Amino acid sequence: MFINGQWIQAKDQKEFSVLNPANGNVISRVPDGGEIEAGMAVTAAGEALPIWSSQTAYQRSAFLYEVHTLMMGNLEHLAQTMTQEQGKPIQAARNEVKYGADFFLWFAEEAKRIYGRTIPSSRGDQRFLVAKQPVGVVAAITPWNYPISMIARKVAPALAAGCTLVLKPAEATPLCAVEIFKLLERAGLPKGVANLVTALDPAPVGQVFMTDKRIAKLTFTGSTKIGKLLARGAIVQMKRVSLELGGHAPFIVCKDADPVHAAKGLSLVKFLNTGQACISPNRIYVHSTMKALFLKELKEKVVQMIPGNGMTPGVKIGPLVNAAAIEKVDNQVKDALHHGASLVIGGFRIMDKGLDKGYFYAPTILDHVIPKMRIYREETFGPVVPVISYEDEDDLLKMANDTDYGLAAYVYTKAYSTAMKFFEGLNFGIIGINDINPTSAAAPFGGMKMSGIGREGSFEGIEEYLETKLGGFSLNA
């Protein structure tokens, strides 16, 4: 763990193993921290806050630029660490490292654009001055599915704003966090400004994050269930909270769309990271008249997807994160088939070709999916495409919005009027119109309803780490 500028072991010397989900092999062992280490990290961050927040925006910006340079210079090492630890194909890992580095580059600039303002007063002897200042010590919890970019998306804006922080990465992917913190150290990070606590059991660390009064803000990316638990704990002390939680994205193929083009797009976004993405499409609405052509093209794409270890050239489908993920996906598929869905392809755990020791599930397409099936209501987080037929396009908005989640949605259409109707009518924070990658460091990322609170990326991302302060000045001193 990295606390107060030092690499340390847990106080009780406990460690836990990090496994490769493609073969079950132990990659490494890392310290198993808990309440004591989390408290030490918070203390370090609190003591470093006055020093870091008093640095100029240009000094913080220069540091973030250096981190970006180091990430790009170590791209291959970071990508290979990610593929071994998380499982995604190596090219996808390389892309994620670049995406993560983009956040350090973006917020290196945003650090210099934290502006205040003056407000006219009705009194001639009065002036109003508005200033921005860092919220204080930040506690950050990041997920396993994007173990580098999600760290960058929180660490970069927090540091740019002048905050100090404590990071608890997902227990499945601590090595990526360790490598990022090595680069922060190399970039000249002052001691205590950013701290890393690794833990097999996240509960004791999370408890510190919720209850320690020195922590001013809690930021979390993960499941809606855990996000709600953290939010309830944080509100007792009125901590600032930003949450990026689950999704259940609709993918709408309008009657005027090209079904072949839409199927190609879906195949790229749905099976990205083996479906383990919060913006992954989960409900695929296709008009009955074009469904046959859509399914034909989609099946052809799926047949070409090679599952296997992400380090193997040509592999497109990596493993799921663990055995529980396999069970969840398989149960959803079995439930759908039990209630009348048709299996187009897949629908089983892959146990041949030397993949039996990993957590591989075959890319799967289900047809005739209906609302009473679990997969229609629950986020899958796996390589399963549930196809839903529709007849009347006027019903699509209602069907797509019929979910507690509101993170991402996708629409394929050739008509601007249709595109605008769905953009305005869909209750989701991110809408891809003929676009399967509506994300960027420069664009706000976040959801509505049970998909979270707040935004990451863009200028909104740094606002999450800033307080607004008003000064009223009387000139009659």
Each of the 477 residues of the chain gets a pLDDT tens digit; together they read 999 999 999 999 999 999 999 999 999 999 999 999 999 999 999 999 999 999 999 999 999 999 999 999 999 999 999 999 999 999 999 999 999 999 999 999 999 999 999 999 999 999 999 999 999 999 999 999 999 999 999 999 999 999 999 999 999 999 999 999 999 999 999 999 999 999 999 999 999 999 999 999 999 999 999 999 999 999 999 999 999 999 999 999 999 999 999 999 999 999 999 999 999 999 999 999 999 999 999 999 999 999 999 999 999 999 999 999 999 999 999 999 999 999 999 999 999 989 999 999 999 999 999 999 999 999 999 999 999 999 988 889 999 999 999 999 999 999 999 999 999 999 999 999 999 999 999 999 999 999 999 999 999 999 999 999 999 999 998
* Count of residues in the chain: 477
Q: What is the DSSP string of 446-470?
A: --EETTEES-BSHHHHHHTTEEEEE
pLDDT in tens, 126-160: 999 999 999 999 999 999 999 999 999 999 999 99
The tens digit of pLDDT for each residue in 11-58 reads: 999 999 999 999 999 999 999 999 999 999 999 999 999 999 999 999
**d(Cα 135, Cα 214) in Å, to the nearest integer?**
11
CA angle 87–88–90, rounded 5-degree value: 110
CA-based radius of gyration for the chain: 23
- Predicted model pTM: 0.96
Domain parsing of the chain, residue ranges: 2-245+451-473, 249-440
Assign a CATH topology to domain 2-245+451-473.
Answer: Aldehyde Dehydrogenase; Chain A, domain 1 (3.40.605)
* Cβ-count burial 155-192 (b if 16+ within 10 Å, e if not): bbbbbbbbbbbbbbbbbbbbbbbbbbbebbbebebebb
What is the rounded distance in angstroms from the CA atom of residue 255 to the CA atom of residue 287? Answer: 6
Q: Which two tokens mark 475?
A: 């000139």
Is-contact 84 20, C-beta < 8 A?
yes
Superfamily holding 249-440 = Aldehyde Dehydrogenase; Chain A, domain 2 (3.40.309.10)
Is position 244 annotated as part of the catalytic site?
Answer: yes
CA 63, CA 257: separation in Å to the nearest integer? 47
Which DSSP symbol is given to 227?
H
Q: Which of 179, 244, 379, 456 is catalytic?
A: 244
C-alpha dihedral, 364 to 369 to 371 to 374, nearest 10°: -30
Of these residues, 163, 176, 254, 278, which one is catalytic? 278
Cβ pair 195, 169 in contact under 8 A = no
Q: Three-class SS string for 332-362?
A: HHHHHHHCCCEEEECCCECCCCCCCCCCCEC
